[in-house]
């Protein structure tokens, strides 16, 4: 009996029809703005940024000196990070799904929370904790031995690996879920040792591993938080930082930035092509009514404790210290300040959150606005990502589908600042603003950009679960008298509901903490929360800024808890039986 089944290619007319609409959406959201920005690499004159209609001089400029060094650093760091992340993710997914490790329900949820912690926050909190007179010192722990190590490739790779762990985990987890334990059993029975069993099983989840590698790599290449904080302090230039630096002086050199952006995007192509080649040869449609329980490996109690502790450590590093550090730091009166006297705790910063020292810089209005933005952007992103994911998973090998695939993956590597500035170039063209629509510096455009930045990742995120739904489940529904809408509502929706909910929450949280795009595109006098917090942090009001961050995080967690609770109450019992590798049933 086989559990892996190739689905039949569905009706070919539907994708052809919806295809052009999707292309237009993708074009307006991502391709045109990013393309406008990238055009500057060779043709700055097109957007009035220089005299040349065509030149290659910015390539030599960008590929040499510190910017060249930044690209090289980003490349090797991303390769190392993606490898580490996939290795850790595979181990963790195996532990959670196939062993009796403690906390099997807890780890996936913590993985989720880890998803929500931006890398800059992870870094800054670690610095807050480790720095001289930081939080750890306030608690009487000496950290000077670690601080120097942390400010360097060791710290950079650690933070980035843990940050991209969730991406890898959810992909690998889905792949492993589709792998019945009979494969492992079969390998064992045929006299294979543990290593040989791995050799048998690993190729079977190779598509998932490659997919995880590709996405970790792209996310790491495009990460901005670490290059801007940790790597910057360590004088270790990375590509996104040099990109940012080249457009933050005045006049900005958009052309050099465009070359770096182009390199960032191009580097993600080989992993995605490799992955799609491998994926296309195998199917991983597995969510049918025939799923069976898998056998778990039983650790002895000491081994079980040790393994669980090791897993816990990962989350202490990625989650415990950043969140704990931020909370502690926000209550510490003299964070990072040399003090002879005893440590002073105080809630003064929280008073300042609600009674701001800078006139007019309130907290409530930005918080409200960001929640609204999160709500709209998350809903739109989830809806679009579902459609795109379905399209990517169609088994036709149409070139436009592959191109969409590559483009969506390439977009993962587009730094937010590139997308934001690209939006200015494209949506503020004279022709567009006078003859079509003037969206620049309006709320709708900010929403579009927020959707654009979340869409590629979200599509990746959905494509696994979408592929796991056997096409026959929907076909059965149509054949048994359900019209298109009822078929979707009664089969796809219930099966995807949990994934959709988590995807929604993820985009919601990421939208609230999103900075570079919000900063560039927010409509005058309507400041989102992240911009306000940044203003405080940038205005050396670290305490207030940190307290705001903590309050913002708490609010996000409350929304997540409320949404999960609501899901439990309003969805039918059967829906809740549908587990998902991300969180389980």
Partner 1 sequence: MKINHTMKRVSLTAAVLAATTAWLVPTSIASAAGPTLVVYSAQGYDKAAVAAFNATHPGFTVTLNDNSTGPLLQQIQAEGHNPKWGVLWVDGATAFAELDRQGLLAKNIVPKVSFNAVGRANIPADGSFVPTGLTATGALVYDSAQISKSQLPKTWAQLSAAKYKGMLGMNDPTQSGPTYPLIAGLMNYLGHYTKGSTSAAVKAGESFLTKLKANGLVINATNGPTLGAIQSHAIKMAIIQSSAGYGQELTASPSIRVDYLNPVTALPGVIGIDALMPKTVRAEAQKFVDWVLSRAGQHVMQTGDPQGDSLFWPVLNGEKPANKVLPPLASVPMQTINPYVWGPLENSVNSWFTNNINNG
Partner 2 sequence: MKAASLEVRHLTKTFADKVVLDDVSLSVARGEFLVLLGPSGSGKTTLLRCLAGIERADAGEIEIDERLVAGPRTFVTPDKRHLSMVFQDYALWPHLSVRQNVGYALAKWPAPERRRRVDDLLERVGIAPLAERYPNQLSGGEQQRVALARALAADVGLVLFDEPLSNLDADRREQLRIEIATLTREVGVTAVYITHDQGEAFAMADQICVLNHGRLVQSGPPESVYREPVNAFVARFTGLAADLPVEVLCPCGPRGYDVALPFAGDHRVRAHAPVTLAAGVRARLYVRAAGVRLSREHHEGIAGTVRDVAFVGRGYEHVVQVGENEIITKVFSETRHERDSAVRVCFDAASSFVLADAEGADRT
Footprint of partner 2 on this chain (CB under 8 A)? 1, 5, 8-13, 287-292, 470, 472-473, 475-484, 486-487, 490-491, 494-495, 572, 574-575, 577-578
The option from partner 1, partner 2, none interacting with 575 (CB < 5 to 8 A, set by class) reads partner 2
Q: Which two tokens stand for residue 557?
A: 């967690």
**Residue 469: CB minimum distance to partner 2, A:** 10
Q: Considering the complex, what minimum distance in angstroms separates the CB of residue 499 from partner 1? A: 19
**For partner 1, what does the binding mask look like between residues 55 and 84, x meaning CB under 8 A?**
----------xx--x---------------
Q: Give which of partner 2, partner 1, none residue 208 binds (C-beta under 5 to 8 Å, depending on kind).
A: none
Residue 547 beta carbon to partner 1: minimum distance, rounded to whole angstroms: 14
Helix (H) or strand (E) holding 33: helix 32-39
Q: Is 295 left (phi over 0), alpha (psi -120 to 50) or beta?
A: beta
Question: Which does residue 540 bind out of partner 1, partner 2, none, counting CB within 5 to 8 angstroms by kind?
Answer: partner 1
574 SS3 class = helix
Nearer to partner 2 among residue 460 and residue 498 (C-beta): 498
3-state secondary structure 45-109: HHHCCCCCCCCCHHHHHHCCHHHHHHHHHHHHHHHHHHHHHHHHHHHHHHHHHHECCCCCCHHHH
Toward partner 2, which CB reaches closer, 270 or 579? 579
Q: Which is nearer to partner 1, 219 or 514 (CB)?
A: 514
Of 169, 425, 462, 502, the one binding partner 1 (CB under 8 A) is: 425
Is residue 576 involved in binding partner 1 (CB under 8 A)? no
Q: Where are the alpha helices (DSSP H) in 205-238?
A: 206-222, 225-226, 232-233
Helical H segments across 428-541, by residue range: 430-431, 443-468, 471-479, 484-487, 493-513, 516-521, 529-538
The yes or no reply on residue 281 touching partner 1 (CB under 8 A) is no
Q: Name which of residues 108 to 127 contact partner 1 (CB under 8 A).
A: none
> x/- contact string, 481-520, with partner 1 (CB under 8 A)?
--------------------------------------xx
- Residue 489 CB, shortest distance to partner 2, in Å, is 11
Burial profile 373-406: b = 16 or more Cβ within 10 angstroms, e = fewer: bbbbbbebbbebbbbbbbbbbbeeeeeebbebbb
Nearer to partner 2, 235 or 577 (CB): 577
Question: Total binding residues for partner 1 by CB under 8 A?
Answer: 69
Q: Does residue number 144 form part of the binding site for partner 1 (CB under 8 A)? A: no
**27 scored as a contact of partner 1 (CB under 8 A):** no
| 540 forms part of the interface with partner 1 (CB under 8 A) | yes
**397 is an interface residue for partner 1 by CB under 8 A:** no
Closest to 216 measured CA to CA, from 315, 342, 107, 77: 77
Query: Could you tell me if 239 and 73 are in contact, meaning their C-beta atoms sit under 8 angstroms apart?
Result: yes
Cα–Cα distance between 126 and 160 in angstroms, integer?
A: 13
Beta carbon of residue 293, minimum distance to partner 2 (angstroms, whole number): 8
Under rule CB under 8 A, which residues in 204-233 are in contact with partner 1? 232-233
Residues 321-360 that bind partner 1 (CB under 8 A): 334, 336-338, 357-360
Query: Does the footprint of partner 1 cover residue 566 (CB under 8 A)?
Result: yes
> 401 touches which of partner 1, partner 2, none (CB within 5 to 8 A by kind)?
none
361 binds partner 1 (CB under 8 A): yes
Among partner 1, partner 2, none, the one that 484 touches (CB under a kind-dependent 5 to 8 A) is partner 2
The one among 39, 92, 323, 421 contacting partner 1 by CB under 8 A: 421
Contacts 24+ apart (CB under 8 A), 38-42: 38/258, 38/261, 38/262, 38/265, 39/258, 40/254, 40/255, 40/257, 40/258, 40/425, 41/255, 41/258, 41/259, 41/261, 41/262, 42/255
**Terminal Cα-to-Cα distance of the chain (whole angstroms):** 26
Which residue of 372, 437, 484, 558 would you call a contact of partner 1, by CB under 8 A?
372
Q: Select from 2, 142, 249, 301 the one that contacts partner 1 (CB under 8 A).
A: 249
**Residue written as token pair 């019209």:** 483
Q: Say if CB 224 and CB 399 are below 8 A apart.
A: no
Does residue 131 bind partner 1 (CB under 8 A)?
yes
Question: Do 462 and 582 meet the contact criterion of CB atoms below 8 Å apart?
Answer: no
Cβ proximity to partner 1: between 200 and 429 the closer is: 429
Q: 297 in helix, strand or coil?
A: strand
b/e 492-506 (16+ beta carbons within 10 angstroms → b): bebbbbbbbbbbbbb
Q: How far is the CB of 399 from partner 2 (least distance, A)?
A: 13
Question: Please, what is the Cα angle at 173 between 395 and 294, to 5 degrees?
Answer: 100
Among the listed residues 46, 53, 41, the one whose alpha carbon sits nearest the alpha carbon of residue 426 = 46
What phi and psi values does residue 141 have, to the nearest 5 degrees? -100, 130
What does 476 bind: partner 1, partner 2, none (CB cut-off 5 to 8 Å by kind)?
Answer: partner 2
In the list partner 2, partner 1, none, the entry touching 245 (Cβ below 5 to 8 angstroms by class) is: partner 1
Which listed residue (145, 250, 399, 485) binds partner 1 by CB under 8 A?
Answer: 250
Per DSSP, 44 falls in state: G
**Residue 523 within binding range of partner 1, rule CB under 8 A:** yes
| Closer of 69 and 490 to partner 1 (Cβ) | 69
Which tokens is 117 given?
């912690």
Nearer to partner 1, 33 or 108 (CB): 33
Number of residues that make up the chain: 585
- Rounded-to-integer distance, Cα 468 and Cα 532, Å: 42
Residue 470 contact partner, candidates partner 2, partner 1, none, CB within 5 to 8 A by sort of partner = partner 2
In the complex with partner 2, the residue whose CB is nearer, 181 or 334, is 181
- Residue ranges in contact with partner 1 by CB under 8 A: 47-49, 65-66, 69, 131-133, 232-233, 235, 237, 242, 245-254, 334, 336-338, 357-361, 369, 372, 375-376, 421, 424-425, 428-430, 433, 440-444, 519-520, 522-525, 527, 531, 535, 537-543, 566, 569-570, 572
């Amino acid at each position: 009996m086989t559990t892996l089944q190739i689905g039949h290619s569905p009706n070919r007319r539907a994708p052809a029809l919806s295809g052009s609409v999707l292309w237009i959406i993708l074009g307006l959201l991502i391709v045109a703005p990013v393309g406008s920005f990238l055009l500057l690499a060779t043709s700055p004159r097109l957007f009035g940024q220089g005299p040349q209609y065509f030149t290659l001089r910015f390539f030599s400029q960008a590929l040499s000196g510190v910017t060249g060094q930044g690209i090289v650093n980003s490349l090797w760091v991303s390769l190392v990070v993606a490898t580490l992340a996939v290795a850790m993710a595979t181990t963790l997914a195996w532990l959670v799904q196939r062993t009796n490790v403690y906390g099997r329900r807890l780890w996936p949820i913590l993985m989720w929370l880890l998803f929500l912690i931006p890398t800059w926050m992870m870094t800054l909190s670690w610095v807050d904790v480790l720095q001289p007179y930081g939080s750890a010192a306030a608690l009487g722990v000496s950290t000077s031995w670690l601080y120097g190590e942390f400010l360097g490739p060791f710290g950079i790779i650690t933070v980035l690996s843990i940050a991209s762990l969730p991406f890898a985990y959810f992909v690998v987890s889905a792949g492993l879920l589709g792998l019945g334990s009979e494969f492992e059993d079969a390998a064992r029975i045929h006299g294979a040792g543990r290593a040989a069993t791995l050799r048998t099983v690993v190729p079977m989840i190779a598509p998932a591993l490659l997919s995880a590698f590709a996405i970790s790599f792209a996310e790491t290449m495009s990460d901005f938080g670490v290059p801007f904080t940790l790597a910057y302090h360590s004088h270790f230039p990375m590509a996104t930082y040099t990109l940012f630096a080249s457009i933050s002086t005045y006049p900005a050199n958009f052309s050099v930035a465009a070359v770096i952006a182009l390199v960032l995007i191009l580097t993600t192509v080989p992993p995605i092509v490799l992955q799609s080649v491998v994926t296309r040869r195998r199917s991983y449609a597995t969510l049918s009514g025939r799923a069976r329980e898998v056998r778990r490996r039983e650790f002895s109690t000491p081994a079980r404790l040790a393994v669980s502790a090791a897993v816990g450590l990962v989350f202490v590093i990625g989650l415990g210290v950043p969140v704990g550090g931020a909370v502690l730091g926000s209550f510490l009166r003299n964070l990072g300040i040399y003090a002879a006297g005893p440590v002073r705790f105080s809630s003064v910063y929280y008073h300042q959150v609600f009674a701001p020292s800078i006139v007019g810089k309130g907290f409530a209005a930005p918080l409200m606005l960001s929640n609204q933005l999160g709500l709209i952007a998350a809903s739109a992103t989830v809806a679009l990502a579902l459609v795109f994911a379905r399209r990517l998973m169609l088994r036709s090998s149409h070139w436009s589908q592959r191109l969409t695939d590559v483009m969506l993956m390439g977009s993962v590597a587009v730094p937010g600042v590139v997308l934001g500035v690209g939006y200015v170039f494209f949506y503020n063209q004279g022709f567009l603003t006078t003859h079509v629509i003037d969206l620049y510096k309006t709320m709708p455009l900010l929403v579009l950009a927020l959707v654009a930045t979340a869409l590629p990742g979200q599509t990746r995120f959905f494509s696994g679960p979408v592929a796991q739904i056997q096409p026959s489940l929907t076909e059965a529904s149509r054949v048994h008298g359900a019209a298109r809408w009822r078929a979707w509502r009664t089969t796809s929706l219930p099966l995807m509901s949990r994934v959709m909910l988590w995807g929604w929450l993820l985009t919601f949280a990421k939208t609230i903490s999103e900075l570079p795009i919000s900063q560039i595109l927010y409509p005058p006098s309507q400041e989102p929360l992240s911009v306000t917090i940044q203003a405080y942090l940038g205005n050396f009001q670290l305490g207030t800024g940190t307290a705001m961050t903590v309050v913002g995080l708490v609010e996000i967690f409350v929304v997540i808890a409320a949404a999960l609770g609501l899901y439990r109450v309003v969805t039918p019992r059967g829906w809740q039986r549908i587990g998902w590798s991300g969180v389980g049933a």
